[in-house]
């Protein structure tokens, strides 16, 4: 499908894209680009056969590439666009995998003065708590959702090429606009991460924390699993989507206040109804995966 794919940021997602593309025989050559501080990770990625070569010079990395995937944290994507600007090729297709999309499009507009028609923003709904090339697996995107958020400038040819690429990687494609993406993901991904981080932070500061964690059951482990995620990556994501997230935090605070009053007033039935409604809503969510 491609002659050369350049992965900018060979971490969990970028490395998994490379492995999946290699497994599916979607390209002849895969190269990685990163900072010199990333040398150990890039050396590992090359040693494991995730990439064929790696570069610290972006000009060399993208030379001859007909597909460039930006898989860096969203906080540095504007800098990546600026570095790419002088070497942007009209004959290649470019994409990203950021968990926020409004800021990605804004970063492109700042760097280029417009959004290039051969840039197709995407977001794979897949991941793990681990990070780095060592965590990459070739099946990460199998039967996972991939959201494409084309802009008004995105060419149909580029959109179809990226859609076909991800479908061949095993993903199920959804298309939505950038604002709607950030609204939805704030609720389903960004807020849950904040809840997990804040709960563990709260409990970790208590004097009896060792006993709290010692006697925590499986439910605590399941709920807080995502608190093991990369804090720098999630800091960038939350800051990039802060407007959507802060609205949800306020709504959640209101819900917690209602529950607090139910407890104070021994409102057993209202408490039961709240829990029961939540249980039914979660079951509807689980049913979606069985369709």
**Tokens standing for residue 284:** 């509807």
CATH 3.30.830.10 fits 2-177, yes or no: no
Q: In what order do the strands lie in the sheet with 119-124?
A: 53-55, 27-33, 2-8, 67-70, 93-96, 119-124, 145-148, 172-175
Per-domain boundaries in the chain: 2-177, 181-288
CATH 1.10.3660.10 fits 181-288, yes or no: yes
Residue labelled with tokens 């959507």: 244
Contact 159, 150 (CB under 8 A): yes
pLDDT over 70 (residue 207): no
pLDDT over 90 (residue 243): yes
The residue ranking higher by pLDDT, 174 or 217, is 174
pLDDT tens string 276-286: 999 999 998 88
pLDDT over 80 (residue 202): yes
Give the pLDDT confidence score for residue 214 in this predicted structure: 77
- Cα 77 from Cα 84, distance rounded (Å): 10
- Cα 23 from Cα 30, distance rounded (Å): 12
Mean pLDDT of all residues belonging to the chain: 94
Contact 123, 171 (CB under 8 A): no
Give the pLDDT confidence score for residue 209 in this predicted structure: 65
pLDDT over 70 (residue 197): yes
Give the pLDDT confidence score for residue 67 in this predicted structure: 98
Residues 203-223, mean pLDDT to the nearest whole number: 78
Structure confidence at residue 290 as a pLDDT band (50, 70, 90): low
DSSP string, 246-269: HHHHHHHHHHHHHHHHHHHTT-HH
pLDDT over 80 (residue 156): yes
Give the pLDDT confidence score for residue 70 in this predicted structure: 98
Residue 157 CB coordination number (10 Å): 11
pLDDT over 70 (residue 127): yes
Structure confidence at residue 242 as a pLDDT band (50, 70, 90): very high
pLDDT over 90 (residue 237): yes
């Amino acid at each position: 499908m491609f002659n050369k794919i350049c992965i900018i940021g060979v971490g969990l997602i970028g490395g998994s894209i490379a492995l999946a593309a290699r497994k599916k025989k979607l390209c002849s050559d895969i190269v990685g680009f990163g900072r010199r501080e990333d040398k150990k990770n890039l050396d590992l990625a090359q040693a494991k056969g995730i990439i064929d070569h790696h570069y610290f010079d972006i000009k060399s990395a993208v030379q001859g590439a007909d597909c460039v995937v930006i898989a860096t944290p969203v906080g540095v994507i504007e800098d990546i666009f600026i570095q790419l600007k002088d070497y942007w090729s009209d004959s290649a297709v470019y994409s990203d995998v950021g968990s926020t999309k409004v800021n990605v499009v804004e970063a492109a507009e700042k760097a280029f003065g417009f959004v290039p028609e051969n840039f197709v923003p995407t977001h794979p709904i897949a991941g793990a708590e681990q990070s780095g090339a060592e965590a990459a697996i070739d099946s990460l995107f199998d039967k996972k959702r991939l959201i494409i958020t084309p802009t008004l400038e995105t060419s149909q040819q580029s959109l179809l090429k990226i859609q076909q690429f991800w479908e061949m990687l095993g993903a199920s494609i959804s298309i939505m606009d950038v604002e709607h993406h950030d609204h939805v993901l704030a609720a389903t991904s960004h807020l849950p991460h904040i809840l997990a981080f804040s709960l563990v932070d709260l409990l970790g500061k208590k004097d009896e924390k060792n006993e709290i964690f010692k006697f925590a059951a499986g439910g605590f482990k399941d709920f807080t699993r995502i608190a093991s995620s990369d804090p720098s990556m999630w800091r960038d994501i939350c800051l990039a989507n802060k407007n959507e997230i802060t609205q949800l935090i306020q709504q959640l605070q209101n819900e917690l206040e209602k529950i607090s009053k139910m407890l104070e007033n021994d409102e057993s039935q209202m408490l039961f109804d709240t829990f029961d409604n939540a249980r039914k809503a979660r079951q509807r969510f689980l049913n979606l995966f069985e369709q």
